[in-house]
Structure 1
Amino acid sequence: MPDPQLARTRLVAQSLTTRPHDNPHAAVAALLAMQGQDLPGVIASAALRTRSGDVDDVLAELCAGRLVRGYPMRGTVFLMAAADVLWVSELCAAPALRAAANRRHHLGLDQAKVDRARELAVEVLSVEPNGLPRSEFLARWEADGQPTAGGVGYHLLAHLIGEGTLCHGAWNGTDQNIAWTRTWVPEGSDLAGTFNGDRTAGIAELLRRYLVGHGPATIRDFAWWTKLPLRDIRAALPEATMDLEDDGADEPSYWRAGLLDEVAAVGKDASRPLLLPGFDEFILGYQDRTFAMTAEQEVLLVPGRNGVFRRSVVVDGAVKGFWRRAGRPGSRTLEVEAFTPIPAATQAGLERLFGSFPVVTD
């Protein structure tokens, strides 16, 4: 069943009701990673956690190389601070990379072709410090004799990004360029440079950051989010939680110190209406989403279980329905599909939020 108090607390932890961050880099780093296969959506998610709420600030961070997208865990693309993408990928990406490699023969790929794709990628991008648009980059593989249609190009890109060779970098007006990480992310930001190769210390930092940005949450939430083994997480738990608060349960939830006082200070503002992008971490940051909706409503969140999450209308910490941008470019209107009728005052608030929603392109 939905838990309004837990939901409101997580909204504050995730900076959605307080918007404390001066810039998108700080907002993203606070959550460690934001699921990012919907690029306009994750750009909006980052903007919604900043004081300005300005989408241009997010695009500027992408172009400055402070924010990138990678495939650090679960075989899924995430928006991250550039200094975090390599060490997190080293900790978490291997299972997804192995699973994808086992399917490689269906695409007509072998290790020699992957190695050649990597070699050419580095050769091309080493002289393109801002990277190349995806279509131009894939054309270089095609010209070298490596077909990219039928999912082959996607597989090669996901593999090279997951292993840390490439990343999604600068914004080019419609998408992010493909960039070589050596020229795009901070030097020494791998596991060796950041934690002297200490895997447990890296997991402790990863766990601490997750709990600070997403808590109250459990280590099982974190294990689902990262797909790291529970035995490795438990080894890192004492270091990760030494400055956190918990509820003392047999399987405790943890959160950042002072969070409950923040929620009390925010008061009714933690209940105010929100329009969220489809893949926002408030919805996707936890395995069990019924803290914010019923099980029946969760089925409606992903119609047909096709992996595409709808945009949520959140009121008082609960998902009350879904929304979309109806109409044509230049004359968009808010269209809400509510579970139950929404009061007129709440609807008026949603209209105001829609007018200021951080949209990348119309």
Structure 2
Amino acid sequence: MAVRPLFDDDQRRARLARRHRLAPGTAADRAEQVVDDLVAVHATDPATVFLAVAARLAAPGIADTERALYADGTVLRRHGMRKTLFVVPADLAPALYASTTAKAAAAERTRLLRDFAASGRDAAWTAGAQDAVLAALAAALPDSPDGLTGSQLGELVPQLRETIDYGVGTSYQAAQPVSMRLLRLLGMEGTLVRRRPLGGWTSSRHRWVPGPPLPAAPSAAERAAAQAELAGRWLASHGPATEDDLVWWTGWGVREVRAALAACAAVEVELSGGTTGFALPDDLAPVADPAPWAALLPALDPTAMGWKHRDWYLSPEHRPDLVDRSGNLGPTAWWNGRIVGGWAQRPDGEVRLELLTDPGPEARTALAAEAAALRTLLADTRVTPRFRTPLERRLGD
């Protein structure tokens, strides 16, 4: 029996540093390079996109990400893995839609129609509301080429101002705005696209514009091919990793993940502790250890959130401080491939650090410099994560 290649935790941390552009000498010149190497950047919290990219740019800033998102369209906001909003490379968007989004959007439309019907709004009513939204946008675009916010659309489309009763008879019964459900669905499907928000780069008040013509629903073969493409892209960035990691990251079923791994010719490798992992067949050679490095990464950063099994870079004893009840990681402080603490921004703008383990004087000096650089980058902007963790609250309030 052939011996499986061994990747210990040190080798995985070396790959993380180099492939996620955190090691010295690996910083990118353009936002597109960062997003491409990370595969997908969480966009549920608008600040995450900008801070995650800035942490990996040779000249950290916000403007280049705004250019890529809003001027050039070389990176796109799309719903994807786990029904979450991400920023992805434009060339990956078709595979993301076919592999993941189309199925999730179809299920979401089914739920929406069911919930609307329970409130006395049938499919014809929903279709009419959708048509009214598109007509309002078409009429407004000549004078508002950047699109309209949900609130602005609500002023033009009365149906959006209505509410539905959700979860009737349950402990979570609540009134939901039609606008929240319908605009989210149209965004998932690609009928509408988020553009530059009102306000600054941390704002979530995105303007909506009509999207490109919707592709046909993918066939089973097209979905499988797209899943193989996405799995291969992810392994090139995050591998070696376990089957569990890919199931968690994609939100696919186990059978789909196994088929995708086989289709991209992934090979079994051994991880620390004898765990089975997978890597691409041309990616089995070890990489050199990088020079020492420090980083302050934002809440939901794609590196911190890149794997289900995180003990090789996040000590279990630090999870209560850094992870919320839903498993979301808050702002983190890194030294040589390990999370050693966290950070938060206070109302006065100060960036405060808290180390959960002592990484030594070199690390403390480097992390203090990162905090000073982040304070300069943020300038007058104040960042409070949408999903707050105990450490972030402790430092930031």
Task: Confirm or deny a common fold (TM above 0.5).
Answer: yes
Relative distance call for 1:352 and 1:110 in structure 2 (3 A) is farther
- Aligned mates of 2:270, 2:328 — CA distance in 1: 36
1:144-185 Cα distance to aligned partner (Å, 9 max, x none): 664597354322222111122122223544333222221xxx
Q: What letter is aligned with 1:324? A: A
Shift of 1:313: 0.7
Shift of 1:258: 5.5
> Does residue 323 of structure 1 match 2:350?
no
1:284-333 Cα distance to aligned partner (Å, 9 max, x none): 11111222122232232224x056531011112111111111241xxx22
After TM superposition, the structure 1 stretch with the greater mean CA deviation from structure 2, 100-109 or 115-124, is 100-109
Q: Which of 152, 168, 175 is the matching residue for 2:194? A: 168
SS of the residue 2:147 aligns to: coil
- Aligned mates of 1:177, 1:118 — CA distance in 2: 16
> Does residue 81 of structure 1 match 2:81?
no
- Does the CA-based 8 Å contact 2:14-2:290 persist in structure 1? no
- Aligned mates of 1:170, 1:99 — CA distance in 2: 25
Relative distance call for 1:245 and 1:5 in structure 2 (3 A) is same
Shift of 1:205: 1.0
SS of the residue 1:310 aligns to: coil
After TM superposition, the structure 1 = structure 2 runs for residues 290-301 of structure 1, keeping only pairs within 5 Å, are: 290-301=311-322
The aligned counterpart of 1:312 is 332
Shift of 1:37: 1.0
After TM superposition, the structure 1 stretch with the greater mean CA deviation from structure 2, 313-322 or 146-155, is 146-155
After TM superposition, the structure 1 = structure 2 runs for residues 29-48 of structure 1, keeping only pairs within 5 Å, are: 29-48=36-55
- Aligned mates of 1:326, 1:137 — CA distance in 2: 35
SS of the residue 1:27 aligns to: helix
> Does residue 123 of structure 1 match 2:130?
no
Relative distance call for 1:340 and 1:236 in structure 2 (3 A) is closer
The aligned counterpart of 1:51 is 58
Give the superposed CA RMSD. 3.4
Relative distance call for 1:359 and 1:156 in structure 2 (3 A) is farther
The aligned counterpart of 1:228 is 252
Shift of 1:192: 7.9
- Aligned mates of 1:178, 1:307 — CA distance in 2: 30
1:317-361 Cα distance to aligned partner (Å, 9 max, x none): 111111111241xxx222122213454442332222123335483
Relative distance call for 1:137 and 1:48 in structure 2 (3 A) is farther
Shift of 1:257: 4.3
Q: What letter is aligned with 1:236? A: A
Q: Which of 357, 366, 371 is the matching residue for 1:354? A: 371
- Does the CA-based 8 Å contact 2:162-2:177 persist in structure 1? no
1:169-224 Cα distance to aligned partner (Å, 9 max, x none): 23544333222221xxxx79x5789x997222211111111111222223432222
After TM superposition, the structure 1 = structure 2 runs for residues 271-282 of structure 1, keeping only pairs within 5 Å, are: 271-282=292-303
1:78-97 Cα distance to aligned partner (Å, 9 max, x none): 11223433541332132475
Shift of 1:116: 2.8
Structure 2: segments with no counterpart, 5+ residues: 1-7, 165-174, 383-397
Relative distance call for 1:291 and 1:116 in structure 2 (3 A) is farther
Shift of 1:279: 0.5
- Does the CA-based 8 Å contact 1:31-1:209 persist in structure 2? no
Q: Which of 149, 156, 171 is the matching residue for 1:140? A: 156
After TM superposition, the structure 1 stretch with the greater mean CA deviation from structure 2, 44-53 or 147-156, is 147-156
The aligned counterpart of 1:207 is 231
Q: Which has the higher contact order (CA 8 A, sep 6+)?
A: 1
- Aligned mates of 1:346, 1:315 — CA distance in 2: 6
Q: Which of 111, 118, 133 is the matching residue for 1:102? A: 111
Shift of 1:275: 0.4
SS of the residue 1:252 aligns to: strand
The aligned counterpart of 2:99 is 91
Query: What percentage of aligned pairs have identical amino acids?
Result: 24
- Aligned mates of 2:14, 2:351 — CA distance in 1: 24
Shift of 1:229: 2.7
The aligned counterpart of 1:252 is 277
- Aligned mates of 1:113, 1:215 — CA distance in 2: 47
Relative distance call for 1:234 and 1:359 in structure 2 (3 A) is same
- Aligned mates of 2:157, 2:327 — CA distance in 1: 29
- Does the CA-based 8 Å contact 1:323-1:335 persist in structure 2? yes
Relative distance call for 1:336 and 1:161 in structure 2 (3 A) is same
SS of the residue 2:135 aligns to: helix
Structure 1: segments with no counterpart, 5+ residues: none
- Aligned mates of 2:241, 2:317 — CA distance in 1: 23
- Does the CA-based 8 Å contact 1:289-1:298 persist in structure 2? no
Shift of 1:281: 1.1
Q: What letter is aligned with 2:368? A: E
- Aligned mates of 1:97, 1:354 — CA distance in 2: 44
- Aligned mates of 1:296, 1:100 — CA distance in 2: 41
- Does the CA-based 8 Å contact 1:74-1:96 persist in structure 2? no
TM value normalised by structure 1: 0.81
Asked which structure has the greater CA Rg, the reply is 2
Q: What letter is aligned with 1:284? A: M
- Aligned mates of 1:211, 1:87 — CA distance in 2: 15
The aligned counterpart of 2:78 is 70
Relative distance call for 1:96 and 1:307 in structure 2 (3 A) is farther
